[in-house]
Structure 1
């Protein structure tokens, strides 16, 4: 089956909505230096989509301070629209990340999470992505769940992105994560997070069970140096890690999430009207999207501070099978 390169193609013109934290990462390098970067897992996904040319909205929770101004500039410069009601936090969230020798980060947090009463899903939203603290941290978690649960017209995407330093009750956190599994069409999760949730089960087996027993029709498991695996009812595909020089690993999973959403968008598989087609995605399309995720991860790994690519930064293509609608 021949393929058509889609690099630089305009995305499908429906809005994408991301719900979750935007924060300042204070990164302590292995050499003792400290750098500050804009971040937050959901915000990174919004940035990834915005830089790839998508119309993307972000519902988040910021203060009214200098850090909030920095985050707003970072988001809007990448094409992200920050929704109304995002400035009621007592202060803008901070995350301190300590890097180890292989670029992996250990986090501590100083933040709160809630949603303003004005938060709503914009019209023409084809996909809603929820991730990380938005799913587990009260008082905002329940409000986010209600928004996602009632989003009948949109494809729903979820990344649990567990933050153990903020978990006081593992069973309650697992319960909250599982209700988001049950509200999601697509899950992108790291093997580390799935092992935290289900410590005695292989992460790929967890993915199989999510597809078999719960709502998701597609689960993508990122596996660090081992690449990534995608599971549907009919398929189980793998892609290796793309060759790169690792600078740090911050944001690599978020790049994968953005790539999966971008790929599904370009394949015409977003929106409730395409839910059955998504569940029956063909091998060639899924492999192309999985390989695309590996390429965006590699780019992010080669940069400091969750630096997401624009299409013009990339030399590889998303090559969908001929006949797949854009």
Structure 2
């Protein structure tokens, strides 16, 4: 495998999307997979470390990743089945998920890369989460840029206090942490989402926290202050993969700025740079919301001059 700009580690699965009229579609998904695909479509070299089964759905997943331009390193699942997430859409396009997951990623050496992204269920579910966290530690030892998207699912949050502890612990090892307002409410409903984000900014390696607010835009938190952008007006088909598209859009912009290459450029920390970063990521998410399923845009499909 060639050196990659970004390695993404985590679950891949098939999204079975059931709309409110009863129609169903199957598309490859999983937050880390969506981020890897989103990066590749934005011309950022990416490799996905994941698991798939020995079934027809595995071929669909692998084909989707490679067709988008990303590489994939896939260990077999213990069950032989590719994981499935069933998304039930309401009349507004918002999704409620049910999962059939197999996550037992083996420990392995982190490939040569310049940045690592992890997130969602792959960082939470045993036994595979330990392998993901080991990759994070390898990245920290190499002093690489590491990003983490909490991207929680209520189904897997049985003990809020323990999950919040785990998120803080992992987040502290990461340069950039992203979460949604829904994640924040799951982690600690006694705090406002802003305060949850501020707590995560206290992590030892954390320089930037991004909080997405769905129809209310997004906010960046850093040592230089807190800066927000409004959402872009869009016709929402569904919200599947929107947060992942935002994450990919963020990392792609940081790649363009040279931030992901160790020792070359610091993260943006001023209002103008961070609002531009947020607006660029919001644009990617908005385009994805205008499409069925997790289908982020290619760079050639973006407005001229993106990110503005």
User: In which range does the TM-score fall when normalised by the shorter chain?
Assistant: over 0.9
Alignment partner for residue 292 of structure 2, among 296, 300, 304? Answer: 304
Provide closer, same or farther for how the CA distance between residues 319 and 41 of structure 1 changes in structure 2, counting only shifts above 3 A. closer
Q: Equivalent residue for 1:115?
A: 105
Structure 1 residue 311: Cα displacement: 0.9
Contact 1:212 1:233 in 2 (8 A): no
Displacement of 1:319 in angstroms is 4.7
**Structure 1, gaps ≥5 residues long:** 1-12, 321-326
Q: Does 1:47 align with 2:47?
A: no
Within 5 Å, which residues of 2 pair with 1:87-106? Answer: 87-90=76-79, 91-106=81-96
What count of residue pairs does the alignment treat as equivalent?
303
- Residues 206 and 169 from structure 1, CA distance in 2 versus in 1: closer, same or farther, beyond 3 angstroms? closer
TM-score (norm 1): 0.88
Larger RCO (alpha carbons 8 Å, 6+ apart):
1
Query: Does residue 1:176 correspond to 2:162, yes or no?
Result: no
1:132 aligns to 2:84 (yes or no): no
Question: Counterparts in 2 of 1:182-193, with a 5 A limit?
Answer: 182-193=172-183
1:283 correspondence with 2:296 = no
Judging changes above 3 Å, is the alpha-carbon distance between structure 1 residues 319 and 76 closer, same or farther for their aligned structure 2 residues? closer
Please state how far the C-alpha of 1:169 moved relative to its aligned partner: 2.9
Task: Tell me the secondary structure at the aligned position of residue 205 of structure 2.
Answer: coil
Shift of residue 243, structure 1, vs aligned partner: 1.4
SS in 2 for 1:168: coil
Is 1:199 the counterpart of 2:189? The answer is yes
Distance 1:130 1:15 in 2: 14
Note if contact 2:172-2:203 (Cα within 8 Å) is conserved in structure 1. Answer: no
Shift of 1:211: 1.6
Corresponding position: 1:268 with 2:258: yes
Secondary structure of the structure 2 residue equivalent to 1:36 = strand
Distance 1:176 1:122, change over 3 A: same
Write the deviation string for residues 110-131 of structure 1: whole angstroms up to 9, x where unpaired: 01112224x32211x1111101
Alignment check: 8 A CA contact 2:77 2:102 kept:
no
Once residues 203 and 298 of structure 2 are traced to their aligned partners in structure 1, the CA distance between those partners, rounded to angstroms, is 37
Matched residues in 2 for 1:120 and 1:150: separation? 8
Displacement of 1:174 in angstroms is 2.2
Under a length normalisation based on structure 2, what TM-score does the superposition of the two structures give? 0.93
Distance 2:127 2:77 in 1: 13
